[in-house]
Amino acid sequence: MTSSDSAANKRLGSGNELRPETAVQFVKGIGPERARALQAEGIETVRDLLLILPRRYEDRSNLAPIRSLKPGVRNTVCGRIVAVSLKRARRMPIFEAVVEDASGRIKCVFFGQAYLRDSLKVGRRVVLYGAPEWDRFGGGLALHSPDSEILDDGEADPDRVDGALIEAAIHMGRVVPVYEKRAGLLPKIWRRTLTHLVRSLPESFGEPDLLAADLREDLGVVGLRQALSAVHDPGPEDDLSALNSARSRGHLRMILEEFFLFAVGLAAKRLDRRPGVVVPSSDAAREMAKRVLPFPLTAAQKRVLKEIAADLGSGREMSRLLQGDVGSGKTIVAILAMLLPVAAGKQAALVAPTEVLADQHFLTLTRILAPAGVRVLRLSGRMKSKERKEALAAIATGEAPVVIGTHALFEPDVVFRSLALAIIDEQHRFGVIQREELRLKGEGVHALVMTATPIPRTLALSFHGDLDTSVLDEKPPGRLPIRTSHRFDSQRPRIVEAVKRHLGEGRQVYVVCPLVEESEKLADVRAVTELTQAWSDWLPGTKVTALHGRLPRDEKGAAMDSFVRAETQVLVSTTVIEVGVDVPNATLMVIEQAERFGIAQLHQLRGRVGRGRHASECLLVTRAYPSDEAKQRIDALVASEDGFFLAEKDLEIRGPGEFFGTRQSGRGLFQAGDPVRDRELLIRARDLADNWWRTAVPEHPLRRYARSDQWTRRFGLSQVG
């Protein structure tokens, strides 16, 4: 053997040379072409490959006589091929094979798989798995496109079923894992590749284990090699129901390992923070707060402010997530938090995702902070050159202690004199990178990110686990419940009458629709332009104004100002009014085509009313027959105003990926675990990781891993904001 041959064998990772970091192209059954397809989905190493877990398991271990097969019941049969034929129907090739055992015969039909004639030949013995159906062309039961495995080439004794051969089969004669088609590889190829792979892993694979013996004991899990074998190549001792519920010994190891390693990395970010500028609580800040407070704080607001003040004075950078349901008073908490750095002679900035929300924040903060003599500056990307130059100068000199803006605040020419606190509203619309860009505008800048989308605890741990969390879980006193009803578009007269009733009481009305103007793809969706005219016709003598994101900034501001001043009675808008808009006199929200909105959006939109002392109402208008999923969303909104209940309902309907908008083709945040299904395991892993991080020795290999590129690559989607 030449030296080059020896090197090639070593690179192939054969036998006990397989390692987690072995390149995927050297795994048996992959090769360069398939490796390129896998690498396009982020599957580059043996470790990555082994993290592709089966979607379900099927028991194909018990052979059934062909004569005992029943329609619709899946079974495994073994027999000899006694006849084959290739036909065509409507240009589609149809390959048929007749298989016989001692009890009878059955026809197997394969649509569009003419290539099978090269392998399924007369005389060969095969194992088949599938559910028989009545043959549409007559002739009794038939197996349509069953899974098949060839056991011999036809030279063995035709009357002998060799148990050893069946035991050795990859696709039959056992509990088999079933994989999704990915990277162009069929489930059968995944099964063959991964079964061969785990059978060739050395006992020392993955050593030293990142989960050392003491951690495995704390988590109650088996070793890595044992877990991989149980997941990808289950034996007769593995329970089928445990496998399919992801509660087998192998699954528990994979899930808890993934959650624990993820949580350790987040602990590194959360508990080992950089030094932060010290912003002490002061008598000056307390005096300013007394001047600006428009109403008594709730117990929840006081608790959260205490947490924020402790962070600002700790000497470490604050990274805190503030969750608060619609109407819970996040804005006043943000304002009072800003007063701490302002009273210390430093600056605070608030970033909003839209111009409309930034304008609303500017108006609100200017009004509330006026009694304390605090200047609030609005920075917009649409400012004229001279106006922008003056604003940048005020920020750079510190003349503007409080700055409000959109993405314009991230621009390189925005230089703060002494930025100490950055508040980001509606965090889910910004990325972590953008948050860090704002922090780089100063030394040791504290970050407070806010969301009005309630997040169940397990998902908060998954997607915002590098942040400490504060929750505003009560509303200010005096807020009345919002009555929510479902109406069909055919009930338009009742809807118009409801609007007239609110207008007759001197109140104002929002009407929301999904689009700005008609599109060919969504021709049945009422557009703002069309709907504005329709409501003007239905309400003669009433001022109806349109508001949407495509309007020039001045026109958007004018439309919103007109509504705030009660000059406009009905505001027809897209979802630009989803967050932040506060008009206490608005008491009715009509949401057109409500079936096209998610639960979180509907809840946010509904929260634009019910902000004053008058009883408020929300009408969810849908077409006559919304889909089952849309009906579930509508029913949930009608049943509850509790944002956390609705968030849990949203998870049930959509799953965590869709909930956060992070579902992608290819790899997701977790491969083994599911934050919804495995929520108790996630919380357990998080608590253990935090305790471990506080006590582990500094040189522990797991500490290095938590800060490494390897951790970042494995959990890349954790960087989604």
pLDDT at 224: 92
Residue 2's pLDDT band, with cuts at 50, 70 and 90, is: very low
Q: pLDDT confidence of 664, banded at 50, 70, 90?
A: very low
Q: Between the ranges 198-212, 226-240, 345-359, where is the mean pLDDT highest?
A: 226-240
Which of the residue ranges 324-338, 486-500, 541-555 has the most confident prediction, judged by mean pLDDT? 486-500
Q: Which of 87-101, 296-310, 669-683, 686-700 has the lowest average pLDDT?
A: 669-683
pLDDT number for residue 459: 65
pLDDT band for position 716 (50/70/90)? low
pLDDT in tens, 449-478: 888 766 766 566 666 667 788 888 777 776
H or E segment and range at residue 523: none
Contacts of 192 (CB under 8 A, 6+ apart): 29, 170, 171
Q: How many whole angstroms from its chain centre is CA 157?
A: 56
In this predicted structure, what is the pLDDT of residue 523?
45
User: Across residues 30-48, what is the average pLDDT?
Assistant: 88
What is the predicted pLDDT for the residue at 507?
95
Concatenated DSSP letters of 24-71: GGGSTTTHHHHHHHHHTTT--BHHHHHT---SEEEE--SB--GGG--T
Residue 515 has pLDDT above 90, yes or no: no
d(CA 259, CA 679): 10
pLDDT band at 425 (very low <50, low <70, confident <90, very high): confident
pLDDT band at 655 (very low <50, low <70, confident <90, very high): low
Residues 305-325 have a mean pLDDT of: 91
Task: Flag whether pLDDT at 336 surpasses 80.
Answer: yes
> Which of 136-150, 363-377, 707-721 shows the lowest mean pLDDT across its residues?
707-721
Pairing verdict, β 376-379 and 402-405: parallel
**Three-class SS state of 152:** coil
Q: Give me the pLDDT at residue 11, please.
A: 40
Backbone angles phi, psi at 233, to 5 degrees: -140, 60
Those residues whose C-beta lies under 8 Å from the C-beta of residue 262, and which sit 6 or more positions away, are 462, 465, 670, 685, 715, 718
What DSSP designation does 3 have?
A: H
Enter the DSSP assignment of 577. G
Q: Cβ distance 126 to 151 under 8 Å?
A: yes
Segment 120-159, tens digit of pLDDT: 999 998 888 899 998 876 678 999 989 888 876 555 444 4
What pLDDT, on the 0 to 100 scale, is given for residue 304?
Answer: 95
Q: What is the mean pLDDT of residues 418-443?
A: 75
Strand order, beta sheet including 125-130: 133-134, 141-144, 104-111, 92-101, 75-89, 125-130, 147-150
Percent of the chain, pLDDT > 70?
86
Cα Rg, the chain, nearest whole Å: 32
Q: Which residue has the higher pLDDT, 665 or 416?
A: 416
**Amino acid 552: pLDDT:** 79
Q: 549 pLDDT band (50/70/90 cuts)?
A: confident
Give me the torsion for CA of 172, 174, 178, 181, rounded to 10°.
-30
- Mean of all residue pLDDT scores within the chain: 84
What is the structure's pLDDT at 15?
A: 43
Record the tokens describing residue 694, joined without a space: 């506080």
pLDDT band of 160, cuts 50, 70, 90: very low
Q: CA 267, CA 265: separation in Å to the nearest integer? A: 5
Contact present, 592 and 528 (Cβ < 8 Å): no
Q: How confident is the model at residue 654 (pLDDT cuts 50, 70, 90)?
A: low
What integer pLDDT is reported at residue 271 of this predicted model? 75
Tell me what pLDDT residue 713 has. 76
Most confident of 350-359, 590-599, 642-651, 671-680: 590-599
* Lowest-pLDDT choice from 12-21, 351-360, 679-688: 12-21
Overall average pLDDT of the 570-574 stretch: 91
In tens, the pLDDT along 171-206 reads 877 899 999 888 888 888 899 899 999 999 988 888
The model's confidence at residue 580, banded by pLDDT at 50, 70 and 90, is low
Residue 422: the pLDDT is: 93
pLDDT for 159 equals: 43
Share of the chain above pLDDT 90, in %: 40
Q: Does the global pTM surpass 0.95?
A: no
Q: Which amino acid is at 240?
A: L
pLDDT of 41 higher than 90: no
Question: What is the phi/psi pair of residue 72, to 5°?
Answer: 80, -5
Instruction: Report whether 179 contacts 51 (CB < 8 A).
Output: no
Is the pLDDT at 226 greater than 80? The verdict is yes
Rounded to an integer, the average pLDDT of 632-648 is 87
